[in-house]
């Protein structure tokens, strides 16, 4: 028996539903607007009260960074919007809102958004999520020059672009991923002491020249080549196989190994089932006529003149002996993405 007198009290942001029978409500998840409301509620509930203009400025900045983050998240990883009620997600979001509300630094804001989007893609509490959470707290403590140092160290010590096949491609790669940071590098010790204090890395003894690193990672770009008769003299059974040999980039009258590094060369050996005897002989040829550090330096400057300043800064600073922690890698990676665009997934280095 239905009552003719039905009364409902409806709260704010609520909907009234009446029916004479059973009611089934189906909701697949929060809408973008609802997630935005939750995100801004997080800020209002947690950020300390400021006075006057400062209060309005902080509010405006929080709204700006929230909109920027949610727009990027919706574009790159829409399922992440449904994490808005997760406590750890809200804590990370508030960290970003708080830091941007305090500084208003556009570059820092973009970096924090990239880190938070990456963090939002992690579905469980693993090492990558923990590192990204820590990176959100650490990045605001760093200057532009320190972020540039992390990016350069990460890029040149920890990565290799497998698509670089000649000097033109190497130059284009440097333009995209090195040039945005090269002019910002400083040599003063305090820069790297602070990075160490913030847990981004550590300074070891000795060090390694940038020429040496490039000469190993992109060895194929820095070879003088050898005469083709070396193949016969050394008894290489596969002969001048084009899968392994090509005209020398630095002297077309000679030949060189078709590989940028020994790692790439070894993978080619496996792929084409090269005999152990030929592997040893070809590897020896790979090292034959390799440029000295001084020659590699000259070639890098010939390819891109701005490399002169970076090579000098590297040799004259703690960069040459600075190794990154997982947090330093995550921040350097995010900073490269911020300025250079899409980059390989962070999980390659942190897993």
Which parts of the chain fold into alpha helices (H)?
Answer: 32-46, 52-76, 87-103, 106-120, 127-138, 144-158, 167-177, 179-182, 189-197, 210-217, 229-233, 262-271, 276-287, 293-303, 307-315, 326-340
Query: Contact, 259 vs 218, CB < 8 A?
Result: no
Whether residue 50 lies inside any domain: the answer is yes
Q: Is the pLDDT of residue 13 over 80?
A: no
**pLDDT higher than threshold 90 for residue 335:** yes
332 shares a domain with 191: yes
pLDDT tens figures, 241-263: 999 999 999 999 999 999 999 99
Q: Domain containing 264: what range? A: 223-290
Residue 251: CA atoms inside 13 Å, Cβ hemisphere, count? 15
**Short-list 183, 177, 138, CA closest to 325:** 138
Do residue 188 and residue 319 come from a single domain?
yes
Rounded to whole angstroms, the Cα distance separating 222 from 260 reads: 9
How far apart, in whole angstroms, are the C-alpha atoms of residue 56 and residue 65?
14
Residue 16 has pLDDT above 80, yes or no: no
Pair (227, 323) in one structural domain: no
Which of 82, 105, 140 delimits the end of a domain? 140
Q: How many CA atoms lie within 13 A of 29 on its CB side?
A: 10
| Whether residue 184 is found in the same domain as residue 266 | no
pLDDT value at 86 more than 70: yes
pLDDT at 168 over 90: yes
Of 221, 225, 248, 247, the residue nearest 167 (C-alpha) = 221
DSSP string, 214-262: HHHHTGGGSB--B-THHHHHTT-TT-S-TTTEEE-SS-TTSEEES-SSH
Taking residues 166-180, report their average pLDDT.
97
Could you tell me where the DSSP H helices lie in 14-86? 32-46, 52-76
Residue 127 in any domain: the answer is yes
Contact of 219 with 262, CB cutoff 8 Å: yes
Are the CB atoms for 213 and 183 separated by under 8 Å?
no
Report the C-alpha gap between 221 and 208 in whole angstroms. 19
Q: In angstroms, what CA-CA distances link 114 with 108, 121, 205?
A: 10, 11, 33
Query: Does residue 27 form part of some domain?
Result: no
Q: Is the pLDDT of residue 230 over 90?
A: yes
Residues 188 and 332 grouped into a single domain: yes
The two tokens of residue 337 are: 């993405």
pLDDT value of residue 206: 83
Burial class (CB in 10 A: 0-12, 13-18, 19+), 3: exposed
Q: What is the maximal distance between C-alpha atoms in the chain?
A: 104
CB 62 within 8 A of CB 43: yes
Model-wide pTM > 0.95: no
Residue 37 shares a structural domain with residue 127: yes
Position 249 in a domain: yes
How many domains, the chain? 3
57 shares its domain with 132: yes
State the pLDDT confidence band at 18, using cuts at 50, 70 and 90: very low
pLDDT of amino acid 125: 82
The per-residue pLDDT for 50 is 66
More confident residue, 333 or 84: 333
Same domain, 228 and 260: yes
- Residues 305, 196, single domain; the answer is yes
Mean of pLDDT over the chain: 89
In a domain, 257, yes or no: yes
Q: Is residue 48 part of a domain?
A: yes
Q: How many C-beta atoms surround the C-beta of residue 25 within 10 A?
A: 6
Tell me the two tokens of residue 199.
């847990």
Position 289 confidence tier, pLDDT thresholds 50, 70, 90: confident
Check: CB of residue 315 under 8 Å from CB of residue 188: no
Instruction: Using alpha carbons, list the distances in angstroms from residue 19 to 6, 22, 23, 34.
Output: 10, 7, 7, 26
The reply to whether 251 and 204 lie within a common domain is: no
Q: Residue 21: pLDDT above 50?
A: no
Of 295, 196, 288, the residue nearest 245 (C-alpha):
288
Give the alpha-carbon dihedral of 296, 300, 305, 309, to 10 degrees. Answer: -70
Kindly indicate the confidence band of residue 146, based on its pLDDT and cuts at 50, 70 and 90. Answer: very high
Q: Which residues contact 92 (CB under 8 A, 6 or more apart)?
A: 116, 119, 132, 133, 136
Answer yes or no: do 162 and 300 share one domain.
yes
14 lies in a domain?
no
Boundary of a domain, candidates 290, 307, 335: 290
Confidence at 33, pLDDT banded by 50, 70, 90 = confident
Is 192 among the domain residues? yes
Query: Where a domain ends, among 98, 115, 140?
Result: 140
Residues 182 and 244 in one domain: no
């Amino acid at each position: 028996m239905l009552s003719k007198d039905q009364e409902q009290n409806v709260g704010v942001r609520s909907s009234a539903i009446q029916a004479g029978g059973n009611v089934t409500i189906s909701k697949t998840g929060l809408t973008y607007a609802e997630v935005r409301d939750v995100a801004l509620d997080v800020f209002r509930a947690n950020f300390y009260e400021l006075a006057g203009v400062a209060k309005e400025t902080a509010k405006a900045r929080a709204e700006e960074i929230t909109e920027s983050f949610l727009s990027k998240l919706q574009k790159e990883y829409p399922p992440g919007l449904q994490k808005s009620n997760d406590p750890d997600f809200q804590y990370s979001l508030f960290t970003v809102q708080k830091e941007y509300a305090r500084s208003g630094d556009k570059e820092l804001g973009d970096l924090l958004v990239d880190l938070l989007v990456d963090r939002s893609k992690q579905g469980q509490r693993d090492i990558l999520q923990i590192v990204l959470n820590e990176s959100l707290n650490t990045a605001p403590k760093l200057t532009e020059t320190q972020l540039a140092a992390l990016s350069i160290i990460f890029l040149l010590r920890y990565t290799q672009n497998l698509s670089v096949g000649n000097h033109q491609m190497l130059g284009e790669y440097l333009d995209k991923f090195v040039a945005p940071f090269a002019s910002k590098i400083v040599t003063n010790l305090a820069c790297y002491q602070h990075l160490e204090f913030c847990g981004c890395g550590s300074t070891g003894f000795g060090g390694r020249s940038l020429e040496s690193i490039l000469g190993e990672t992109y060895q194929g770009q820095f070879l003088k080549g050898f005469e083709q008769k070396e193949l016969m003299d050394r008894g290489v059974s596969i002969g001048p196989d084009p899968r392994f040999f090509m005209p020398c980039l630095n002297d077309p009258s000679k030949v060189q190994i078709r590989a940028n590094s020994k790692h790439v060369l070894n993978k080619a050996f496996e792929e084409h089932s090269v005999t152990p005897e030929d592997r040893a002989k070809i590897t020896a040829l790979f090292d034959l006529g390799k440029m000295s550090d001084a020659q590699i330096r000259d070639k890098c400057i010939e390819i891109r003149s701005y490399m002169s300043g970076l090579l000098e800064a590297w040799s004259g600073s703690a960069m040459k002996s600075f190794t990154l922690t997982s947090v330093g890698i995550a921040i350097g990676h995010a900073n490269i993405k911020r300025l250079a665009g899409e980059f390989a997934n962070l999980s390659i280095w942190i897993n």
